[in-house]
Amino acid sequence: MICLRLSLSLAALLAAGSASAQEAAAVTPVVVWMDRDAPDEASIAKAERLAGGVAQHYDTSDLIFPPEPWSKKDADKLIAVSKAQKAADARKEEFEVERSMALALQTAINDVTVIRDVADRDALILALLWQASAIQLAFSEAELKESPEAAAFRVQLPGLITNKAFVDLYALDTVRRYSRGEVPDAATHRALTAQTKALASVPPATLEVGVLPAQATLVVNGVPQEQGLERVSLPPGHSFYHVLIDGVICGRGELDLSPGATVSLPRAISEQERLDAELKVEDSQTLGLPKAVETAVALVVSQHAMQPVYLAARTGDGRVIVVPYSGGARVEKRKPVTFAFGVELGGGAIASPSFHYTTEGSEEGELIIAPGGSGAVDLELGVYNLAIVAGSEVNITPTHSLLYGTGAEGATAADNLSTSVYAKVYGGLGVYALRPTHEKRPTLLLAANYGWFSPGHLGGGGRLTFGIPIDKRNWFKLTVHGFYGLPMAGYPEDEPLISGGLRLGFQTAL
């Protein structure tokens, strides 16, 4: 029955620990670093102590190209483009509807902000083919070049004024040549073929890529670019780009390129904005951050709803500054000294040749194991991650007993008494792998001790104690303990005592 109760109690504690771990996972802190370089392990450890636990870390490479994953809104925008194209197809026989068709298609196309791959690109190309046809039918060649009403649908390039949709089609895919069956009408097909040849002679623009984060791939108009490429040659017109990092779309954007222009791949924040933000955080401030930094941080942490967010920076003298930013974040006030009191009950065993004297049928020198139970009261004085421990135990072995002398003058072995209840008093030192704090977090202590085990042994022992948090000041305890003692003067020298077991209990921080 004792074993059954212990098993049930252990199961309950493990379940509580599992629930606590799940809760901790749900509120994992998020730390965003403002330094130019990624933080080292020592800085990460310092930040996590201040943030109150193991955290998800982001550095400025994540801010330069913040995550903007593909979403339902993006999918809906492509669906809207397809619907606009199909609506244009359905109205193609109506009278004088080309201009409204071109406007409707332009509105849908303008809403698209990212092209994942060639399939997305082809959906946009199909809509542009229909828009090109609508523009060609809505305006004569002279009107397209001169009419104010056609201004939104024309592009002027060196030596060339042409249909805007033709330029956008060429920008999306410079290699593709369209068959008559792909273009809604023959006149538009002829014009597109001629203008594509003319566009091929227009000087391209240059996109300076610069340094990308590790494992990042630049995608332009749905086509992944070669990693490590310093620059990309692109035709004039409208292009889409994003940076793909670990399969996530980051730093998405659009470019309107002029012939012969050289542009740098846009970053969400500039080096000056990053530096301004770093200096703010080093001064423990979050108000007045550059707007671009605020926007980038919001994008980075948008996938961590309801989690505490911190900004961090390293100072020139090696200090780590962590500042609460959002999500109820607060910096842990780390007290160097902690004091905890605990009580425990459990089961175990004591082994010693000394049980021979009260055990029938045993042989002298035989190591006899006696099952039993124990209870303990302990104190822990912590200074940072070091601990001074002290306590006392009561051990019981119902089926076995040890002899001890009366101490009376002239007493003989025949006067010895026996007991099945033993006290242990000890003191020692330990190390916290997880120290007690005023946060709802687990604790873990490894300690060594030295003490007296009644009736007649002195020795050393140790314990490993895991605390499962109930709240910020109280824990369930699970302790594995052991002791090895040698006989004191007056007891047989070759009869050591070994004890050990598992105890469950409760601890509170004072």
**How much is the pLDDT for 407?**
66
Enter the tokens of residue 180: 């008559």
pTM above 0.85, yes or no: no
Enter the tokens of residue 315: 């100072």
Enter the tokens of residue 193: 């073929």
**How much is the pLDDT for 329?**
61
**How much is the pLDDT for 241?**
96
Q: Which fold has domain 337-509?
A: Porin (2.40.160)
**How much is the pLDDT for 330?**
64
Give the residues of the chain that fall short of pLDDT 70.
1-26, 327-334, 406-408, 410-413, 438-439
**How much is the pLDDT for 176?**
92
**How much is the pLDDT for 413?**
67
**How much is the pLDDT for 17?**
46
Enter the tokens of residue 51: 């943030």
Q: Show me where the domains of the chain are located.
A: 28-64+270-326, 72-200, 205-264, 337-509
Q: What is the pLDDT of residues 440-485, one digit of tens each?
A: 789 999 999 999 999 999 999 999 999 999 987 899 999 999 999 9
72-78 contacts at long range (C-beta below 8 A, 24 or more positions apart): 74/112, 74/113, 74/114, 77/108, 77/111, 77/112, 77/113, 78/112, 78/120, 78/123, 78/124
Q: What is the pLDDT of residues 270-329, one digit of tens each?
A: 999 999 999 999 998 888 899 999 999 998 888 787 888 999 999 988 899 998 888 666
**How much is the pLDDT for 326?**
81
CA 422 to CA 403: how far, in whole Å? 11
**How much is the pLDDT for 1?**
30
**How much is the pLDDT for 24?**
42
Enter the tokens of residue 372: 């039993």
List the one residue out of 472, 480, 359, 380 whose CA is nearest residue 426.
380
